[in-house]
């Protein structure tokens, strides 16, 4: 992002098997994911991969911002019309974040750059 300084970098790796196990508890889903994220994962064949990817983004955001007080559900990952991920944090207007996500059947990884 032109004219901005990097304020932080966060990277996280999530295990799909772990997210699948945790997602069996509706309380976990409600505490971690937004309704939009749950709808996106929906009943897709790779539902748990999608959830693991979003979980990794949330953890990477917390690392990039160096703020462990941010509730996971206040971090939302959406897709743009082209399919690229976009992340926002409720209560942090003007926050600029770049995100990249990748996942396989076993792992999901996310990298987030926060700009000042």
Q: Which residues of the chain have pLDDT under 50?
A: none
Q: Is residue 80 part of a domain?
A: yes
End-to-end CA distance of the chain: 10
Question: Residue 2: is it exposed, middle or buried by C-beta count within 10 angstroms (0-12/13-18/19+)?
Answer: exposed
Q: Is residue 15 part of a domain?
A: yes
Q: Is residue 108 part of a domain?
A: yes
The residue range of the domain holding 64 is 6-115
Q: Is residue 97 part of a domain?
A: yes
Q: Is residue 1 part of a domain?
A: no
Number of domains in the chain: 1
Q: Is residue 42 part of a domain?
A: yes
What's the pLDDT score for residue 2?
65
The model's pLDDT over 42-75, given as tens digits with 9 standing for 90+, comes to 988 999 999 999 999 999 999 999 999 999 999 9
Question: Which CATH number characterizes residue 100's domain?
Answer: 3.90.470.20
Tokens of 32: 């971690």
């Amino acid at each position: 992002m032109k004219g901005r300084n990097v304020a932080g970098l966060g990277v996280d790796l999530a295990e799909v098997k772990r997210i699948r196990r945790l997602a069996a508890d509706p309380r976990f889903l409600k505490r971690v994911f937004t309704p939009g994220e749950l709808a996106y994962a929906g009943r897709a064949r790779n539902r748990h991969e999608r959830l693991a990817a979003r979980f990794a983004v949330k953890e990477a955001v917390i690392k990039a911002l160096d703020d462990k007080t941010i509730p996971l559900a206040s971090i939302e990952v959406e897709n743009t019309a082209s399919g690229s991920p976009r992340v926002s944090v409720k209560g942090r207007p003007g926050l600029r974040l770049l995100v990249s996500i990748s996942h396989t059947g076993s792992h999901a990884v996310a990298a987030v750059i926060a700009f000042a």
